[in-house]
Amino acid sequence: MTLSFMTFNVRHDHHEESNMTPFAEPPAKEAPFDTAQFQYEQPWSIRKWKIVDTILLYSPDVVGLQEPVHHQVLDIEALLHDQYEWIGAGREDGDKKGEFSAVFYKKDVLTVEDWKTFWLSETPDIAGSQSWDARHPRTATQVTFKKANSDDRFTVFNTHMDHVGANAREQSSKLILERARPASDEYGPVFLLGDLNSTEDDPAYLTLTNSKYRESKGKNDTLANLQELNQVCASAYSGRTGEPVRTAENNMTLPTHRVIRPGQLLANLKKQQQEQKYTEYYFEDASYELVTRIDSKGDTTTLSGPFGFRDTLTSFGVGNDSDRAPLRIDFIMPLQSNTFKIKVIQFAVLPNQYDDGLYISDHRPVLARISW
Q: What is the pLDDT of residue 1?
A: 95
Spatial contact of 196 and 157, defined as CB atoms under 8 Å apart: no
Of residues 335 and 296, the one with the higher pLDDT is 335
Q: b vs e for 47-81, b when ≥16 Cβ sit within 10 Å of the residue's Cβ?
A: bbebbbebbeeeebbbbbbbbbbbbbbbbbbebbe
Q: What is the pLDDT of residue 98?
A: 98
pLDDT band at residue 257 using 50, 70 and 90 as cut-offs:
very low
Query: What does pLDDT average to over the chain?
Result: 91
pLDDT digits (tens, 9 = 90+) for 78-87: 999 999 999 9
Name which of 286, 268, 278 is nearest 339 in CA terms: 278
pLDDT band at residue 259 using 50, 70 and 90 as cut-offs:
very low
Spatial contact of 28 and 337, defined as CB atoms under 8 Å apart: no
Q: What is the pLDDT of residue 241?
A: 83
pLDDT surpasses 50 at 286: yes
Distance CA(359)–CA(64), nearest Å, equals 19
Domains of the chain (ranges; CATH) run: 2-220+281-371 (3.60.10.10)
CA angle 195, 367, 359 (to 5 degrees): 65
Q: What is the pLDDT of residue 197?
A: 98
CB-neighbour burial class of residue 145 (10 A; exposed 0-12, middle 13-18, buried 19+): buried
Q: What is the pLDDT of residue 125?
A: 98
Distance CA(87)–CA(117), nearest Å, equals 9
Report the share of the chain in percent with pLDDT over 70: 88
Average pLDDT (324-343) is: 95
Lowest-confidence region among 84-88, 168-172, 271-275, 362-366: 271-275
Q: b vs e for 256-268, b when ≥16 Cβ sit within 10 Å of the residue's Cβ?
A: eeeeeeeeeeeee
Of residues 268 and 18, the one with the higher pLDDT is 18
pLDDT digits (tens, 9 = 90+) for 112-122: 999 999 999 99
pLDDT band at residue 262 using 50, 70 and 90 as cut-offs:
low
**Phi then psi dihedrals of residue 276, to 5 deg:** -70, -25
Q: How many C-beta atoms surround the C-beta of residue 272 within 10 A?
A: 10
Q: What is the pLDDT of residue 273?
A: 53
